[in-house]
Amino acid sequence: MMTEARPLISVVTPSYNEERNLPALYERLKAAFADPALTAVDWEWIVIDDHSADGTFAVAEAIAKADSRVRVLRFSRNFGSHVGIACGIDHARGDCCVVMAADLQDPPEAISGLVAKWRAGAQVVWAVRASRPGEAAGTLVFAGLYYLMMRRVVGLNALPATGADFVLLDKRVMAAVRAHGERNMSILALIAWMGFRQDEIRYDKRARTEGESGWTLTKKIKLVVDSLTSFSYLPIRAMSLLGLCVAVCGLLYSAVVVVNALFGHPAEGWSSLMVAVLVLGGAQMLMLGVLGEYVWRGLDESRRRPRYLIEACSFDDADSADTAA
């Protein structure tokens, strides 16, 4: 009599300077999968070292040598967490995968809730943050504005309003993600854009206790620009509207100048001219900058460079030949 195959769950963890958190996360993952709700599944853990400056790869590799369920890859340079997620999905072998960070702010104990929703038929299950203790007020404001923009302006209503980077993906969604080779985009926004059957659970995000976040202001700004240019033409449409408004204002001002001249009150020369030149010049430079963001991304895609390069890995099988993707 044939027995039903046990589902395999892949846990994908992009990591940057997380040598102090990985051992604790590994222990908590083992405990989470020992939960009675998950004893009928097999699991693997894929750690993507985003070219850390500390001993992240060495620590993860030591865990992998002691446990064959753990596989580790190290990028040749820092490519970013979203590319790390894409790499992990490329190498995941599971029937579904769970994407979670290495900073222990997302509890592995919530995986059982994600899997329960998946077994009930959901293909994308978001772990939605009910609270975010320990976060700076500026971070919370920035995050709130970002998700408001993505939902109300860009139109990705499937993206949780309070944000989520802890998510389960069915193998069909994983295949769809692999089919998208874009370099400058938010992979989480891409998942929300794809559709499929989506559901969510809620959890309390915990404060970071070890290490420092690598999520800098520069990376946050790049994420905003990537998200807008990848999923919306709104900036270009706004440029058209701005150009129209400037043209109308220019026509109205020229009419005022002509009328004043006819009635003997010519406009003062230098001041009014400089104001007009500075306003128009600033608007034109802003428009060129927006166009440049779109043009650069088009050029970046056309060059067909790999999204990431693998410097080292802890395993030696067919997947280890995939040094670039």
Instruction: Give DSSP secondary structure letters for 160-229.
Output: -TT----EEEEHHHHHHHHT---SSS-HHHHHHHH-SSEEEEEEEPPPP-SS-----HHHHHHHHHHHHH
Instruction: Give pLDDT, residue 118.
Output: 87
DSSP states along 87-139: HHHHH--SSEEEE--SSS-S-GGGHHHHHHHHHTT-SEEEEEEEE-TT--HHH
Token digits of residue 149: 């923009």
DSSP states along 217-269: HHHHHHHHHHHHHHH--HHHHHHHHHHHHHHHHHHHHHHHHHHHHHTT-PPPH
Instruction: Give pLDDT, residue 181.
Output: 73
Cβ-based neighbours of 33, under 8 Å, separated by 6 or more: 9, 39, 41, 43, 111
Instruction: Give pLDDT, residue 12.
Output: 92
Instruction: Give pLDDT, residue 182.
Output: 74
Token digits of residue 34: 């020992």
Helix (H) or strand (E) holding 143: helix 137-148
Instruction: Give pLDDT, residue 107.
Output: 86
Q: Which pTM value belongs to this model?
A: 0.71
Handedness of CA 60, 62, 63, 64 (dihedral sign): positive
Instruction: Give pLDDT, residue 321.
Output: 42
For the chain, the structural domain boundaries read 8-213+306-321, 234-302
Reading the chain (325 residues) residue by residue, the pLDDT tens digits are 445 678 888 999 998 888 888 888 888 888 888 887 777 888 899 999 988 888 888 888 888 888 888 899 999 888 888 888 888 888 888 888 999 888 888 888 888 888 888 888 888 888 887 766 656 666 667 666 777 777 777 777 777 767 777 889 998 998 888 888 777 777 887 888 888 888 888 887 776 666 565 566 676 677 777 766 666 667 777 777 777 777 777 667 777 767 776 766 665 665 666 667 767 777 777 777 777 777 777 776 677 777 888 888 877 654 444 555 6
Instruction: Give pLDDT, residue 168.
Output: 92
Q: Specify the length of the chain in residues.
A: 325
- What torsion, rounded to 10 degrees, do the Cα atoms 193, 196, 200, 206 define? -50
Instruction: Give pLDDT, residue 208.
Output: 61
How far apart (Å, rounded) are the C-alpha atoms in residues 199 and 170? Answer: 12
234-262 and 217-231 helices, crossing angle to 10° = 90
Q: Which CATH class is domain 8-213+306-321?
A: alpha beta
Q: Strand, helix or coil at 11?
A: strand
Q: Strand, helix or coil at 287?
A: helix
Upper half-sphere CA count for residue 302 (Cβ side, 13 Å): 6
Instruction: Give pLDDT, residue 203.
Output: 80
